[in-house]
Amino acid sequence: MKHFNADDAIAGNVEWVSKRIAVACEKGHREFNSVRLIAVTKNSPSKVMRLAYQCGIHDFGENRVQEAGPKFKEIYDIRSLIRLHFIGHLQGNKVKDALEISDVIHSIDSLKLAQAINQHAARKVSCFIQVNVAEEKTKYGFFKEELGTAVRNIGALPNIEVIGLMTIAPLTGSLEEVRPVFAKLKELNRGYGFKELSMGMTDDFEIAIEEGSTMVRIGRAIFGERS
């Protein structure tokens, strides 16, 4: 995180993050292109999304429908060239709106939500099942022991295509404490063989990549601290 906030810093930050992704891939014996960078633009205006797009970013993460909807209208001209990943907790009454703007939903955290998505979807939607690996009270997602049933029930819904598992690691002082969380998500996925693992944010993406992440969701390292 060399730069903060100034618009012209975004290009440098994207480059810096990409380098760090490359190094982490090397460390984890991975191909560089096996990891997709999702730029998390929550709290950033559409102007910033446009700048990121000009820096080669094609995947954007947003966590609130009310915020992402209007912003995406402002970049309608590049909308078909980018993908929106919905990464936040989704309330039932926002599902319809979320489906209108999102290409991928990373945060299926209940069967009820999955059923609502299935009901409102006009097409098959690519989704992740969110796992609360560390079983934190403050986080959404299925517990490990619930995952088998969840995968079975959600997998049976015709308008949902489960493409992977997603987790948010605990906020801790020590990075090595999050490694087992990412390793656990990968291990859980062995039983299902989903293609994607959505894990890793600004503070922990390198470890997530070493442990097998295929999509990192990065905000602050690219756009600076959120106000």
Smallest separation, CB 156 to ligand PLP (Å): 26
- Distance of closest approach, residue 123 Cβ to ligand PLP, in angstroms: 24
What is d(CA 44, CA 68) in angstroms, rounded to the nearest whole number?
Answer: 10
Q: Looking at beta carbons only, is 60 or 72 nearer to ligand PLP?
A: 60
User: Tokens in use for 156?
Assistant: 């049976």
Shortest separation between residue 163's beta carbon and ligand PLP, angstroms? 16
* Min separation Cβ 77 and ligand PLP, Å: 26
Count CB-CB contacts under 10 A for residue 144.
16
The per-residue b/e assignment along 4-43, b for 16 or more CB within 10 angstroms, e otherwise, is: eeeeebbbebbebbbebbeebbeebebeeeebbbbbbbbb
Q: How far is CA 10 from the centre of its chain?
A: 19
Minimum distance from residue 11 beta carbon to ligand PLP (Å)? 18
Find the binder of ligand PLP among 24, 72, 88, 181 (CB under 6 A): 88
Mention every residue, 6+ apart, whose C-beta is less than 8 A from residue 58.
81, 82, 83
Q: Is 144 in the site for ligand PLP (CB under 6 A)?
A: no
Total site size for ligand PLP, rule CB under 6 A: 13
Q: Which is nearer to ligand PLP, 164 or 219 (CB)?
A: 219
x-or-dash string of contact with ligand PLP, 203-222, rule CB under 6 A: x-------------xxxx--
Give the span between the Cα atoms of 165 and 187, in whole angstroms: 11
Q: Is 42 in the site for ligand PLP (CB under 6 A)?
A: yes
Query: Phi, psi (5° rounding) for residue 25?
Result: -60, -45
Residues 54-83 close enough to bind ligand PLP by CB under 6 A: 63
Closest separation in Å from C-beta 202 to ligand PLP:
3
Count the helices and strands in the chain (H runs, E runs): 9, 8
Q: Which of 25, 201, 208, 209 binds ligand PLP (CB under 6 A)?
A: 201
Q: Which residues contact 2 (CB under 8 A, 6 or more apart)?
A: 9, 12, 13, 16
Residues of span 168-197 touching ligand PLP by CB under 6 A: 168
Largest Cα–Cα separation, the chain: 47
Residue closest to ligand PLP (Cβ)? 219
**Minimum distance from residue 158 beta carbon to ligand PLP (Å):** 27
Would you count residue 90 as binding ligand PLP (CB under 6 A)? no
Which residues of the chain form contacts with ligand PLP (CB under 6 A)? 40, 42, 63, 87-88, 168, 201-203, 217-220
